[in-house]
Amino acid sequence: MSAPSPAKSKSKSARKALSPEAANLQRSILHYLKYKMGRDLESATRRDWWIATATAIRDRMIERGLDTYKAHRVGNVRRLYYLSLEYLIGRLMLNNLINLGLHEPLVEALADVGQDFEVVRAQEEDMGLGNGGLGRLAACYLDSLSTMDLPAVGYGIHYEFGLFRQEFVNGHQVEHPDNWLIYGAPWELVRPEFTQPVRLFGRCEQIFDDRGNFQWRWVDTKTILGFPFDIPVVGYGTKTVNILRLWASKATEDFDLKTFNDGGYIEAVREKAYGETISKVLYPNDKTENGKELRLVQQYFFVTCSLRDIIRRHFSNPANGWDNFADKVAIQLNDTHPALAVVELMRILLDEEGMAFERAWGIVTQVFAYTNHTLLPEALERWSVPLFQRVLPRHLLIVYQINDHLMALCEAKWPGDNEKKRVISLIEEGGPRAVRMANLSVVGSFAVNGVAELHTRLLRAQLFPEFDALYPGKFINVTNGITPRRWLRACNPRLSALINSKIGDAWPRDLDQLKKLEKWADDPKFQDEFMAIKRLNKLDLAAIIKRDCGVDVSPDALFDVQIKRLHEYKRQHLNLLHILALYRRLVQNPDLDLVPRVFVFAAKAAPGYDLAKAIIKSINAVAARVNHDPRVNGKLKVVFLPNYRVSLASRIIPAADLSEQISTAGKEASGTGNMKLALNGALTIGTLDGANVEIKEEVGDDNIFIFGLTVEEVQALRARGYNPWDYYHADEELRAVLDWLGSDYFVPGESPNLPAMVRASLLEGGDPYLALADFRAYCDAQARVDAAYRDRRRWARMAILNTARVGKFSSDRSIGEYADKIWKLKPVTVA
């Protein structure tokens, strides 16, 4: 891997004069190549080129970052602090260049020394500090905050290992550590001067302060350190560069010295290792919580470092005090993962500032706002009281104190109603007692939002009806969005250039301008250009499929993609049942007239989620059969691309014809993959779930394939008593494909038989996500897709109208709504 990447010889006379911008960048790159990497043009490897180039780009961002910081500090501006345990950022080089307006000069600067920009940028590891949609949303929102000149700081954890790297071995998922830092992380700046102490464990004791007042003290704690790394976040076409500050844990010296004196060397080193463990690894569970101590410690570590940093910044201006804290500070909680911040700020105000409860609670509840991301019960965080007590004994007492306050509110509203108190309480009783982080987040925040219209409606009606009655107006909707800079401008340069040629280049900051494309939706020449670009993107993806799956696919087939975390509620297995049905129809009738399709999957399963892993194995096993069956005659290909991540998404999405968004209605809070795909001209086949509902409203009923049970129908069916066997017995084809899957046909001689496990989950297991109930409607919708694709003009028109009509789903629109409705945040122009 570290073979030198020598300049392709280029005679001096053949060189064109570099633009001043390119010459500047080149000088800077060569400087870092020599003095940071210690290389000359002959010995530099591709990685050396990458790091030198990124460092040169970072310099430009730091200059703007200093100007931004100065404008914010001098103006003593109100800021938004975005707290998220996850940021799924991907690669930064191309996006930073596009946002800075330096893409072309940089390509030129590298080409002039014989380096290919695409080769250099491919050296970058994805920053995979997130699991899926929630972490990607945080990354899109940072891009929009800077682009819209809003003063903001993102806070997160500097995980040493991000989400695992996925490989397939005989079709099984195998996880490998993601050691993204090993070759250096040139975007980040270390900030040792802002290191924060973090206390943990210990016990509480009661004392009287010097005014004779009773106080709690948190004593005998262990101390570790939070060490910050800053990643500059550059806006598109503006001067604003905000920062993302990520905390790494370190052991303190006195931490191990004390142990050293008490116990000895080995113990001391072991304890030191614990301090460094906290930020070591991202938990790889998407939408499940398993209540592990280290995860609670991570959450507390993160919120205390971030809060102390926010408070330090606020008080660094002598004009500021606690009285104007809530005027200057808004803190957004990305799900309940950072909800301990509510309690930690209370602890600081009560114990360190000596405030009375009422005043402290008044400040806290004007500062926080909470975004809910899911209704799934297994995703709602609950911390067992004994664990909470052990790690954060003082915080548990404060939770009880907040709960007393809440119970008094509840009693005033519903006198004597103990059932209301039971559901609203911060403490779950009757079983092992647990702290309910969602309830804490609702109570501690001045605003709570869902992430799509349907989701917010269900949040109010089904998850939090009592809170909705107790706090009228607190619950609002902000539908998710995606940044058009990454998800169209950067990932699909061909389509971007075509759009520019028709409507100019203002759309990346004003995505509603894409509406202007509608007038060419029926123009055959534009249709041909649009579909020719899709075909080129499919050729590019075909090369990746060949490289990573060893399968040949035709760019003339329909590319049908389902890319997202592997989860039962997302129903990759429903997709698989349809594939089996098509395969069966084909082997029984090889002359069957089917539109040739390539089914593309990409998904990681949580390492402990056995059924999700069984679904991966089943898809891979069916793929191996289908792809090698001569009777299929190339009409069907099934590929599962390994290691789904942002950089892979950026290659798949521009090449997709059909976007699979087939979750059980009521289960997908919003989805954002659906938006990325529609923006790139893929048609959606989907249920009326999450943001699919709003995508349908925008693109029009004729330009989307909707099928399946609605939320109300799902609930009615469950109320009647859902029995998957009814569907099994009533549908001959469904019965056949389920039994085929459950045999050992696709996994001869393998034990355990994982496809049989998938079948069992759908029958004996009760099919909790109603895949069998939606199977027939799904197949019918797929037949409509097949018919639409045969009409090339019709399909082109539909695809163009998708791109033209999804401007609403820009994260700039989402962030604009947060800024107006929740944060009351004004843009600050940086000179």
Measured from the CB atom, the residue of 93 and 649 that comes closer to ligand PLP is: 649
Judged by CB under 6 A, which stretch of 131-139, 256-264, 414-422, 430-438 contacts ligand PLP?
Answer: 131-139
In the complex, what is the shortest distance from the CB of residue 284 to ligand PLP, in angstroms, rounded to a whole number? 13
Measured from the CB atom, the residue of 360 and 688 that comes closer to ligand PLP is: 688
Cα 668 to Cα 673: distance, rounded to the nearest angstrom:
11
Cα 372 to Cα 375: distance, rounded to the nearest angstrom:
8
Convert residues 83-122 into a mask of x (bound to ligand PLP by CB under 6 A) and - (unbound): -----x----------------------------------
Convert residues 636-655 into a mask of x (bound to ligand PLP by CB under 6 A) and - (unbound): --------xxx--x------
Among 84, 95, 672, 687, indicate the residue that binds ligand PLP (CB under 6 A).
Answer: 672
Q: Which of residues 545-584 bind ligand PLP (CB under 6 A)?
A: 564-565
Say which DSSP state 599 is in. E
Measured from the CB atom, the residue of 68 and 647 that comes closer to ligand PLP is: 647
Measured from the CB atom, the residue of 345 and 488 that comes closer to ligand PLP is: 488
In the complex, what is the shortest distance from the CB of residue 230 to ligand PLP, in angstroms, rounded to a whole number? 24
End-to-end distance of the chain based on CA atoms, in angstroms? 43
Measured from the CB atom, the residue of 664 and 672 that comes closer to ligand PLP is: 672
In the complex, what is the shortest distance from the CB of residue 647 to ligand PLP, in angstroms, rounded to a whole number? 9
Judged by CB under 6 A, which stretch of 130-138, 524-532, 621-629, 773-781 contacts ligand PLP?
Answer: 130-138
Measured from the CB atom, the residue of 94 and 385 that comes closer to ligand PLP is: 94
Cα 388 to Cα 564: distance, rounded to the nearest angstrom:
33
Among 65, 481, 671, 807, indicate the residue that binds ligand PLP (CB under 6 A).
Answer: 671
In the complex, what is the shortest distance from the CB of residue 659 to ligand PLP, in angstroms, rounded to a whole number? 9
Measured from the CB atom, the residue of 88 and 281 that comes closer to ligand PLP is: 88
Q: Are residues 282 and 163 in contact, defined by beta-carbon separation less than 8 angstroms? A: yes
Question: Is residue 667 part of the contact set for ligand PLP (CB under 6 A)?
Answer: no
In the complex, what is the shortest distance from the CB of residue 459 to ligand PLP, in angstroms, rounded to a whole number? 18
131: closest CA among 604, 573, 569?
604
Active-site residues, by number, are 373, 564-565, 570, 672, 676
Q: Which residues pair with 597 in a beta bridge?
A: 558, 636
Among 65, 105, 132, 444, indicate the residue that binds ligand PLP (CB under 6 A).
Answer: 132
In the complex, what is the shortest distance from the CB of residue 561 to ligand PLP, in angstroms, rounded to a whole number? 10
Q: Are residues 426 and 406 in contact, defined by beta-carbon separation less than 8 angstroms? A: yes
165-169 and 172-176 strand pairing: antiparallel
Locate 170 and state its tokens. 């005989």
In the complex, what is the shortest distance from the CB of residue 221 to ligand PLP, in angstroms, rounded to a whole number? 38
Q: How many residues bind ligand PLP (CB under 6 A)?
A: 14
Measured from the CB atom, the residue of 26 and 811 that comes closer to ligand PLP is: 811
**C-alpha 708, offset from chain centre:** 27
Cα 308 to Cα 792: distance, rounded to the nearest angstrom:
59
Question: Is residue 759 part of the contact set for ligand PLP (CB under 6 A)?
Answer: no
Cα 790 to Cα 796: distance, rounded to the nearest angstrom:
11
Q: Which of residues 585-644 bind ligand PLP (CB under 6 A)?
A: 644
Measured from the CB atom, the residue of 98 and 451 that comes closer to ligand PLP is: 451
427-428 and 434-436 strand pairing: antiparallel
Question: Is residue 673 part of the contact set for ligand PLP (CB under 6 A)?
Answer: yes
Q: Are residues 828 and 69 in contact, defined by beta-carbon separation less than 8 angstroms? A: no
Q: Are residues 686 and 674 in contact, defined by beta-carbon separation less than 8 angstroms? A: yes
Backbone angles phi, psi at 90, to 5 degrees: 80, -150
Judged by CB under 6 A, which stretch of 5-13, 307-315, 496-504, 669-677 contacts ligand PLP?
Answer: 669-677
Q: Are residues 115 and 150 in contact, defined by beta-carbon separation less than 8 angstroms? A: no
Cα 146 to Cα 160: distance, rounded to the nearest angstrom:
26
Angle formed at CA 830 by CA 828 and CA 831, multiple of 5 degrees: 135
Nearest residue to ligand PLP on Cβ basis: 673
Residues with Cβ within 8 Å of residue 281, at least 6 apart in sequence: 159, 160, 161, 177
Judged by CB under 6 A, which stretch of 44-52, 305-313, 434-442, 666-674 contacts ligand PLP?
Answer: 666-674
Cα 347 to Cα 363: distance, rounded to the nearest angstrom:
12
In the complex, what is the shortest distance from the CB of residue 724 to ligand PLP, in angstroms, rounded to a whole number? 25
Among 39, 46, 72, 136, indicate the residue that binds ligand PLP (CB under 6 A).
Answer: 136
Strands (E), 631-783: 636-640, 658-661, 683-686, 705-706
Backbone angles phi, psi at 322, to 5 degrees: -65, -25
**C-alpha 228, offset from chain centre:** 22
In the complex, what is the shortest distance from the CB of residue 687 to ligand PLP, in angstroms, rounded to a whole number? 13
CA dihedral of residues 102, 108, 114, 120 (deg, nearest 10): 20
Residues near ligand PLP (CB under 6 A): 88, 132-133, 136, 564-565, 644-646, 649, 671-673, 676
